[in-house]
């Protein structure tokens, strides 16, 4: 179904065109990075809708569903922003049940949700398969940290300021030590969600 052409949809179509031009065949993985409450999940959902509009097979995932349990995090010391940034997510699980199997294509199954953060518990895996040509869009905090950059064919960073106080401390740490702007394929100002705009990599 064709989407209504709005400034947001036009930007998303431009991004989808760029991604398809550079990675037009096979399995493609796109990350949507951003601090807490930057609108990354909605942006990723809408990007997926644009790809679907063009007939692409689209799968969605979020790093929120690849957290470590609170008990597992406690093994790494006191609850601090540094601990959350360093050990809040289970990237080994992400690679094992989602990224690796998705890359294999064929009949290999993959899991887009592995952990329920609200229940602080592993989820019963729901294995999915897809065609040889498919797009996986993954949104989440810290997506452009160095140890994850090799997972993405293309990454979008939503330009936003972290929250004040303790809530935004992990994001401030991430921005200061990982420099995600240097790794992102595209940087988007999403402060006005109805009319996001693309920024140059060195723009503030």
**Structural domain includes residue 1:** no
User: Which CATH number belongs to the domain containing residue 16 in this structure?
Assistant: 3.40.50.300
Answer whether residue 25 is part of any domain: yes
**Residue 106 falls in which region: left (phi positive, over 0), alpha (psi -120 to 50) or beta:** left
- Global confidence as pTM: 0.95
Q: What is the pLDDT of residue 200?
A: 84
Question: In this structure, what are the phi and psi dihedrals at residue 115, rounded to the nearest 5 degrees?
Answer: -140, 135
End-to-end Cα separation, the chain, in angstroms: 36
**Which of 114-132 are b and which e, b meaning 16 or more Cβ less than 10 Å from the residue's Cβ?**
bbeeeeeeeeeeeeeebee
Is 204 a member of any domain? no
pLDDT of residue 201: 72
Let me know how long the chain is: 204
Torsion angle of the four alpha carbons 80, 172, 67, 103, in this order, in degrees rounded to the nearest 10: -150
Q: Is residue 67 part of a domain?
A: yes
| C-alpha–C-alpha distance, residues 131 and 146, integer Å | 29
Number of structural domains, the chain? 1
pLDDT on residue 204: 47
Cα separations in angstroms, 162 against 7, 38, 166, 188: 25, 8, 10, 15
**What is the predicted pLDDT for the residue at 202?**
63
On whether residue 136 sits in a domain, the answer given is yes
pLDDT string in tens for the chain (204-residue length): 789 999 999 999 999 999 999 997 899 999 999 999 999 999 999 999 999 999 999 999 999 999 999 999 999 999 999 999 999 999 999 999 999 999 998 889 999 999 999 999 999 999 999 999 999 999 999 999 999 999 999 999 999 999 999 999 999 999 999 999 999 999 999 999 999 999 987 654
Q: CA 155 to CA 139: how far, in whole Å?
A: 10
Is 47 part of any domain?
yes
pLDDT at 180: 97
Structural domain includes residue 28: yes
DSSP 46-89: HHHHHHHHTT--EEEEEGGGGBPPHHHHHTTSS--HHHHHHHSB
Domain membership of residue 29 (yes or no) is: yes
Output the six-digit token pair for 110.
């993959």
Residue 74 sits in which domain range?
7-199
Cβ proximity of 68 and 90 under 8 Å: yes
Going by C-alpha positions, the residue among 16, 6, 8 that lies closest to residue 55 is 16
41 burial via Cβ count (<10 Å: 0-12, 13-18, 19+): middle
Return all residues near 184 (Cβ < 8 A) that are at least 6 apart. Answer: 33, 144, 155, 156, 157, 201
């Amino acid at each position: 179904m064709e989407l209504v052409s709005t400034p947001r949809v036009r930007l998303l179509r431009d991004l989808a065109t760029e991604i398809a031009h550079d990675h037009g065949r096979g399995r493609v993985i796109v990350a949507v990075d951003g601090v807490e409450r930057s609108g990354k999940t909605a942006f990723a959902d809408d990007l997926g809708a644009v790809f679907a509009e063009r007939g692409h097979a689209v799968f969605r995932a979020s790093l929120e569903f690849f957290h470590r349990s609170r008990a597992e995090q406690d093994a790494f010391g006191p609850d601090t922003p540094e601990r959350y940034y360093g050990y809040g997510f289970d990237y080994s699980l992400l690679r094992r049940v989602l990224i690796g199997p998705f890359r294999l294509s064929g009949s290999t199954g993959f899991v887009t949700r592995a952990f329920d953060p609200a229940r602080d518990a592993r989820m019963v895996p729901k294995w999915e398969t897809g065609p040889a040509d498919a797009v996986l869009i993954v949104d989440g905090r810290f997506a452009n940290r160095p140890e994850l950059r090799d997972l993405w064919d293309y990454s979008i960073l939503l330009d936003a300021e972290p929250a004040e106080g303790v809530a935004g401390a992990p994001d401030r740490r991430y921005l200061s030590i990982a420099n995600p702007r240097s790794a992102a394929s595209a940087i988007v100002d999403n402060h006005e969600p109805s009319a996001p705009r693309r920024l140059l990599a060195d723009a503030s």
